Structure 1
Amino acid sequence: MGRLITAERRNKIAELIVSNGSIKVGELADNFTVSTETIRKDLIYLDKMGVIKKSRGGALSSLEVMEKPLETRSAENFDLKNAIAKKALSFIKNNAVLFIDAGSTALCLAKMLYLKKGLTIITNSISAANVLVNSKNKVYMSGGELNNTTMALEGFGATEFLSKIKVDVAFLGSSGFKEHCGPVSIDFSDADVKRIMISNSKLAIVLADSNKSRSTALVEYASWKDIDYLITNEDIDIKAVEELKKFTKLVFTDS
């Protein structure tokens, strides 16, 4: 990576630490071709800004030291999910109103939004709200019954609140879509939340890595024709691609 001005370098360091959770001083120095002393000064600055927590020999994301009710599945296919979340950022305009669904890929997106400001973010995800609580965005949570598998608020409390909300973009997860005509969910309550936000959004975007083309779940919560974009990676099943392109727009990650 070529040399960057200080502000650019610090922004990129913040993005790396938030995305990866932690990183060593030596790695950052090699990555940005600067001295370790320069990196330490950068980390001190970012620590004061509240973005990271400086640690012995490196730094942790501030998000990593928060108490997060996060399932271990969030670590599965992390690089794929992170790349999908990064691609999703291109659909977010300044001062936009967003819905962030429960799910591990949506959580990767929430972590990236932590570094943004001026957004209005609606979510039914305890995990997403937790990472965004100290961001410079307005964050609103639905009510509802807590699902201890997805860490999402569901049921009447969630759907009643969300039915009155209009958003620019709804980012939705999927438990799979093999042998279905649309994205699927693990239960009916979660599917109800997703359906409402598809109806109440200008853009409905599904975030799902290619492994979801080879798995399935209980409830088909929408038809692909109701989804504006599917963001995924290129390892998706070729037959699935041919079918999906008939009904929705596919966006592939850069890596």
Structure 2
Amino acid sequence: MHKRSKRQREIVSRLRSGLSVSVTELASELDVSDETIRRELRALEESGILVREHGGAKLANPTLEGPLSQRMDMNTEAKMRIARAAAELVDDGAILFIDSGTTSCFIAKQLVERRSLTVITNSFQVATDLGGINDNTLFLAGGQMDYDYHAFSDHAAQAYVRQFSPHLAILSVGGICLDHGLTDFHPGEAAMSRIAYETSRRVVLGADASKFGQHAVHRTAPLNRVDVLVTDLPLSDGYAQAFAHAEVIVA
């Protein structure tokens, strides 16, 4: 299982350039059979990370996201590694904004042992996990719930979140692109991210390999607004240069 996971991470790393890669090329580079590569590509396709083509594959380029329950089951191993690493950045007593992305929800679950947190969130899932425990203080944005996201991100929720100045924002992202910066699929969630970038002292972005090279429809911020990037694979040269200003943690 460990070897399979490593192979899949290496395949995704090779696809980050945005170019298609053939089965034969991957098999040669990873020193395995063509059938082994096809098996790994099938698994990655089922996870929504890539699209198989005749003789090869390329990273998927989705135009919308599914409901939270479905997205929580995608790339779970990578999100767990990111969550554990990101949680190490949070001390007892921290004042946090946590958004409603799935990676942020994974991170929130890793914070259940922290004490005296002040948590500002628009995510019902985050509020459920961190509210009412360990002397935490919870501020949950209200408004009209988006049931696909289990979150509040309308104008009322945005105005509520804008009141706060958290020490740290923990954010997810729909896509990371060298040309377009950070983007999201949902206009309300994109607005929440923009508010967090404006009002937080420091921003931690959790993003697995499938986010790189993706371009969602709503812009949130340029890449240079990220203070700490937590991801699951080493960055390609282009992205390493783009995030040279930030602390990059590979989980």
Measured after TM superposition, the shift of residue 187 of structure 1 is 2.4
**Aligned ranges 1:134-213 → 2 under 5 Å:** 134-136=132-134, 137-213=136-212
Q: Which residue of 2 aligns with 1:87?
A: 85
Measured after TM superposition, the shift of residue 205 of structure 1 is 1.4
Measured after TM superposition, the shift of residue 134 of structure 1 is 4.1
Measured after TM superposition, the shift of residue 163 of structure 1 is 1.2
Contact between 1:209 and 1:232, CA under 8 Å: does it hold in 2?
yes
- Larger deviation: 69-78 or 197-206? 69-78
Structure 1: which amino acid aligns with 2:149?
A: T
Contiguous gaps of at least 5 residues in structure 1? 1-68
Q: How high is the TM-score relative to the length of structure 2?
A: 0.68
Equivalent of residue 118 in structure 2, options 117, 120, 127: 120
Measured after TM superposition, the shift of residue 244 of structure 1 is 2.8
Q: Which residue of 1 aligns with 2:109?
A: 111
SS in 1 for 2:240: helix
Q: Which residue of 2 aligns with 1:63?
A: none
- Larger deviation: 97-106 or 148-157? 148-157
Contact between 1:224 and 1:248, CA under 8 Å: does it hold in 2?
no
Equivalent of residue 131 in structure 1, options 126, 129, 132: 129
Structure 2: which amino acid aligns with 1:194?
A: S
SS in 2 for 1:99: strand
> Structure 2: how far apart are the matches of 1:86 and 1:135?
19
Structure with more of its chain in helix, by fraction: 1
SS in 2 for 1:117: coil
SS in 1 for 2:181: coil
> Structure 2: how far apart are the matches of 1:179 and 1:144?
34
Measured after TM superposition, the shift of residue 179 of structure 1 is 4.8
SS in 1 for 2:202: strand
Contact between 1:229 and 1:248, CA under 8 Å: does it hold in 2?
yes
> Structure 1: how far apart are the matches of 2:127 and 2:208?
22
Structure 2: which amino acid aligns with 1:206?
A: L
Contact between 2:68 and 2:148, CA under 8 Å: does it hold in 1?
no
> Structure 1: how far apart are the matches of 2:147 and 2:249?
31
Structure 1: which amino acid aligns with 2:227?
A: D
C-alpha distance after superposition, 1:114-144 (max 9, x if no partner): 2221111111001111222342222210112
SS in 2 for 1:170: strand
Aligned Cα RMSD in Å?
1.8
Contiguous gaps of at least 5 residues in structure 2? 1-66
SS in 2 for 1:102: coil
> Structure 1: how far apart are the matches of 2:90 and 2:210?
25
Q: How high is the TM-score relative to the length of structure 1?
A: 0.67
Specify which structure has the bigger relative contact order, considering alpha-carbon pairs within 8 angstroms and separated by 6 or more residues. Answer: 2
